[in-house]
Structure 1
């Protein structure tokens, strides 16, 4: 399916020079982990991102080093292109997004896209969010992929720290059992995140405990490595500008 080029085109045509707000940042981490799975071979990674808001629409791009990731056919990097919008329904904030993932220097075609929606509710320093991301059936991921998640973050009273937590579940239809291992080793799985963040001006420091319920023996084939699905501590440092 040619979903990724369509998302990229939407991003380009939705970012005129009259953008209302511009923001960006750089981040370093000891492991690029997404949904509990390492995307950077368990190695350190650096990323940069930029975002623009134009009226009710926001567009962003994030580029991250993948260090020759076997999960993504030895890709050296990935660009995540996101187009989204949000609106308020009483005290609930709703959001819709489209995301294209473009991989650099991969040995084969790895690009894929997702569509998503979420709802969040804030009360004082606390916020809870629930949502879904759906990747329609695509050759690059061996079928379809549905990610359901719920999370919360809150300031810790009397400290400059914010606690974060998230629980997610990945499932979907399988067309190619080998390719499907790329995003869903073992067929379907649950991931979790518990972390703490400290922000001081433009600098954010974070430490996360991440994990999945994937058994190493269930992560097979060239796109899944059992060493990259287990529990781990991930540290990160971010600078916003």
Structure 2
């Protein structure tokens, strides 16, 4: 099953060059990573993953995207074999600020009753060579996540002059209400917590690679402590 799923992910993502022959607004990526870590939590139980994504820039402001990531029967997400993320974003440039709004739905093939949706907003601006991003994402009360979930984050990134390297860092805080402790532990094991990380990424033409340090304030949960994550891929 793992081999079949990985082949399917690669096939779906590699279809994007063919689509790009007909629309310059379509792009895609294929990558491998040593872990699927989101908000300080491993979604793949610490296992390596394969990811494919496709994005469509419908207008200057509106875009749509989809991504599929292998999870290999993730315990965190009810034994799901993968997560498929469907998203839509709207962004406007207002002076030196770029304001955005986004909606996302997470689907978990191979598991029952695990899907959930969220929406959010962000503001980005430049300070010298650095790009600063402030974001808020909210998942309304849903049975699959045992309540609701609010994630606030701040991030900064900057290219290293004269090199193809970019350095970025972030800090985030997860909070929310709890109606079902078991399901709420998917996104907030132990309740409200902080996560942080720093990464260095290399981009040369269509190829990219990077290493990321990730950690969280969670004391008693699997696959949430300090780790280094490597990744490599190609864009189309």
TM-score, length-normalised on structure 1?
0.86
Correspondence for 1:6: none
- The 3-state SS of whatever aligns with 1:227 is coil
| 2-structure distance, mates of 1:111, 1:49 | 19
Correspondence for 2:226: 231
Answering whether residue 57 of structure 2 is matched by residue 62 of structure 1, we say no
Aligned-residue offset at 1:48: 0.1
Correspondence for 1:149: 153
Deviations 1:3-37 (A, max 9, x none): xxxxxxxxxxxxxxx86600001010000110110
Q: In the alignment, which of 56, 62, 65 is matched to residue 52 of structure 1?
A: 56
Shift in alpha-carbon separation, 1:146–1:19, aligned structure 2, 3 A: farther
Correspondence for 2:175: 171
Structure 1 unmatched runs, 5+: 1-17, 217-225
Deviations 1:179-204 (A, max 9, x none): 10000011110001111011101111
Aligned-residue offset at 1:238: 1.8
User: Do the aligned partners of 1:19 and 1:54 also contact (CA within 8 Å) in 2?
Assistant: no
Aligned-residue offset at 1:41: 1.0
Shift in alpha-carbon separation, 1:84–1:194, aligned structure 2, 3 A: same
Answering whether residue 195 of structure 2 is matched by residue 191 of structure 1, we say yes
Correspondence for 2:15: none
- The 3-state SS of whatever aligns with 2:76 is helix
Deviations 1:133-182 (A, max 9, x none): 00000000000000000000001234321101000000001111111000
Q: In the alignment, which of 85, 106, 109 is matched to residue 80 of structure 1?
A: 85
- The 3-state SS of whatever aligns with 1:179 is helix
Matches within 5 A, 1:90-129: 90-106=95-111, 108-129=112-133
Correspondence for 1:214: 218
Correspondence for 1:3: none
| 1-structure distance, mates of 2:107, 2:75 | 15
Correspondence for 1:5: none
Correspondence for 2:8: none
User: Do the aligned partners of 1:39 and 1:66 also contact (CA within 8 Å) in 2?
Assistant: yes
| 2-structure distance, mates of 1:119, 1:20 | 27
Aligned-residue offset at 1:123: 4.1
Report which structure shows greater RCO (CA 8 Å, sep ≥6). 1
- The 3-state SS of whatever aligns with 2:161 is coil
- The 3-state SS of whatever aligns with 1:178 is helix
Which structure 1 residue ranges, 4+ long, deviate > 3 Å from structure 2?
none
